[in-house]
Amino acid sequence: MQEPYKLTLGALAQPGGGVAFTVWAPRARQVAVKLLGKKPQLVPMQRAADGTFTVVIAAARPGTEYVYLLDGKDGKKERPDPASRAQPRGIHGPSQVVAPPALADAEWRGIPLNEYVIYELHIGTFTPEGTFAAAIAKLPYLRALGITAVELMPVAAFPGARNWGYDGVAPFAPQASYGGLQGLCELVAACHQQGLACILDVVYNHLGPEGNYLPDFAPYFSAQYRTAWGEGLNFDGEQAAGVRRFFIENAVYWLRECHFDALRLDAADSIFDASARHLLAELQEAAAAVAAERGRPAYLIAESDLNDPRLLHPPARGGYGLAAQWSDDFHHALHAVLTRDRHGYFADFGRLVDVEKALNQGFVYDGQPSAFRQRRHGFPPAGCHGWQFVICTQNHDQIANGSQGRRLSTLVALEQQKLAACVLLISPNIPLLFMGQEYGEIAPFHYFVNHDNADLLEEVRRGRERDFSSFRFAGQFAVPHDEATFRACKLDWSALERSPHAELLNLYRDLLALRRAQPCLHNGRQDLARASTHGQSVVLERKDAGGGHAYALFNFSAAPRLIPLRDLRGSFRLALASAAPSYGGPADTQPPRATLRSRHGKEVRVRCPPWSALLYLRDDGP
């Protein structure tokens, strides 16, 4: 078995010429590489004891198309390479040898995690063209907005030309219709040239149902585990070492060869592994090795709804040592308060103290009973940092699954959208924006697929109706395989110039500028942040070790509120008011106090307009 941090799988062009082909296929007695072209060539491979087959072919070069011919107990089969770097003719077609990517980003050194402001986007709907190249043209806009990290939804090759990306079946091969490996690497390099980190969403808990040929090669799946997508991956059973090697090499490939700054691990709670060393811990070790060799960070960020701090705890505390994790509780708490939705998992939320708790510690549910789950949920995240929790008011899942494709812009009024933006961007956690939310995009974001199998399409449609039956929807989900469903999700970039979109965009820009300029707003120090609820209002206090100090006042009611600040000391100036006319606020809004002062720590009461936020910054030094 090869050392897992060394890239060996797939077709690797050699410096002196030729291509080394390596595939793990213990279920085959013999494997041959079939080179395609005018004169097809069949070259047998040599088998190692663990079922790894290798051969170096001098006649192969970048651009060569090939398949593997497997001779197993079920007869002979032609299959694409499981570690293919390119599938130019789709997931059912041949693989293609590609040259190692060359990226023009040698000066890039990454950015600290606490400075991340993430912008999640779907390549196919982010621009009219739906390509990596088209996304590059939007990077100056994102930088001017104040974004510091771009997160791509999965781009591994999937069936057809439209998909969320979670049905990928060629984990090493970027989708050809997006621009393939070259286009993806150019996008990563362009992000770095703009001063932006780049995150890739990867899926290590399942593969898509169409074009998944991995079982023909090896026991990649285990009947012992079931996920929402079928059998779980075999990370702890017989011959699991080869499965682990495959996915660890995949992570190393994206980080080392393609220069991604971070990987977002989809549904990490569905990565089942009873080994003494969990796959997540091994992935973290691999990421740390890549970071050490390249001299800049390589972060792993887990998606999980278990509220389990072991993902973040260091190994010395029995954890996996990942850099950060998504925390859905913040979204659910804020969404339930703003929309009053109590269906599905929102049944566990709806109190303003839930927003307070999410701001104070990341998790709302840390061991208490959950009505939705009918059991206790979560564990206290003691010792975790604010920058270890990625939070949002919208993301791909919450829009498509929790709101039938409807964005917050179509669920609440403008003032409530602005209030949500302020809570998100003044929080002590890592904020994530979903593409278009910064200007109040009204286009929906539905779930969409492009499978060829009619029975599979119907199964997907029925599955979504079943899985989200506890939510309140006006009607059925949009038909996932209808091309119109996909096209409806395209962003309308012309909205930026229209009211109220332009005013909302101004607010996001100003909030992000303040967050960037003020250490007390971007330090990620949850221990220096304190949220408190006062009736229908929340006060969030942020501090910095250098003396920075801020108060954010959030009014969650339809009437003006006098919000108390009980330990105010010194002088604070108004830095932002979400109800200001420049942000599309009501014309008759009474201007808030420009300065707050208290020399003896006495209570100060501040009038806050309906559904709005005020941000005050200390202006008299430490």
Rounded to whole angstroms, the Cα distance separating 581 from 591 reads: 10
DSSP secondary structure letter of residue 68: E
**Residues belonging to the active site:** 266, 303
- Do the Cβ atoms of 77 and 41 come closer than 8 Å? no
- Do the Cβ atoms of 530 and 541 come closer than 8 Å? yes
Query: What pLDDT, in 10s, does the model give residues 46-78?
Result: 999 999 999 999 999 999 999 999 997 777 999
Question: From its phi and psi, is residue 434 left (phi > 0), alpha (psi between -120 and 50) or beta?
Answer: beta
Per-residue confidence (pLDDT) for residue 447, from 0 to 100: 93
DSSP secondary structure letter of residue 486: H
In the numeric block, which tokens belong to residue 595? 């300065």
Residue 368 neighbours by CB under 8 Å, 6+ apart: 376, 377, 378
Report helix, strand or coil for 92. coil
Rounded to whole angstroms, the Cα distance separating 426 from 443 reads: 26
What domains, with CATH codes, occur in the chain?
A: 10-96 (2.60.40.10), 526-618 (2.60.40.1180)
How far is it between the farthest Cα atoms of the chain? 88
344-366 mean pLDDT? 96
- Do the Cβ atoms of 592 and 614 come closer than 8 Å? yes
Per-residue confidence (pLDDT) for residue 320, from 0 to 100: 97
555-563 mean pLDDT? 97
Mean predicted lDDT score pLDDT of the chain = 93
Per-residue confidence (pLDDT) for residue 38, from 0 to 100: 86
Per-residue confidence (pLDDT) for residue 474, from 0 to 100: 45
Per-residue confidence (pLDDT) for residue 228, from 0 to 100: 76
- Do the Cβ atoms of 378 and 308 come closer than 8 Å? yes
Report helix, strand or coil for 563. strand
Per-residue confidence (pLDDT) for residue 29, from 0 to 100: 95
Per-residue confidence (pLDDT) for residue 104, from 0 to 100: 87
325-332 mean pLDDT? 97
DSSP secondary structure letter of residue 260: -
Find residue 75's DSSP bridge partners: 72
Per-residue confidence (pLDDT) for residue 622, from 0 to 100: 43
Per-residue confidence (pLDDT) for residue 581, from 0 to 100: 94
Q: What are phi and psi of 412, to 5 degrees?
A: -135, 170
DSSP secondary structure letter of residue 371: T
- Do the Cβ atoms of 394 and 440 come closer than 8 Å? no
Rounded to whole angstroms, the Cα distance separating 15 from 104 reads: 20
Per-residue confidence (pLDDT) for residue 459, from 0 to 100: 65
Find residue 34's DSSP bridge partners: 42, 67
Following DSSP, what letter does each residue of 126-166 receive, concatenated?
A: HSSS-SHHHHHTTHHHHHHHT--EEEEPP-EE-SSS---ST
Query: What pLDDT, in 10s, does the model give residues 88-147?
Result: 999 999 999 999 888 889 899 999 999 999 999 999 999 999 999 999 999 999 999 999
Per-residue confidence (pLDDT) for residue 1, from 0 to 100: 45
**Short-list 36, 13, 12, 35, CA closest to 23:** 12
DSSP secondary structure letter of residue 445: -
Residue-level length of the chain: 622
Between strands 430-434 and 529-534, the pairing is unpaired
**In sequence order, which ranges of 389-500 are alpha helices (DSSP H)?**
396-400, 414-426, 454-467, 483-487
Per-residue confidence (pLDDT) for residue 6, from 0 to 100: 86
Per-residue confidence (pLDDT) for residue 73, from 0 to 100: 77
Per-residue confidence (pLDDT) for residue 363, from 0 to 100: 97
Residue 593 neighbours by CB under 8 Å, 6+ apart: 574, 606, 607
DSSP secondary structure letter of residue 205: S
173-181 mean pLDDT? 97
Query: What pLDDT, in 10s, does the model give residues 387-419?
Result: 999 999 999 999 998 778 999 999 999 999 999
- Do the Cβ atoms of 428 and 384 come closer than 8 Å? no
Query: What pLDDT, in 10s, does the model give residues 495-540?
Result: 999 999 999 999 999 999 999 999 999 999 999 999 999 999 999 9
Report helix, strand or coil for 497. helix
Which range among 173-177, 328-332, 464-468, 561-565 shows the weakest confidence by mean pLDDT?
464-468
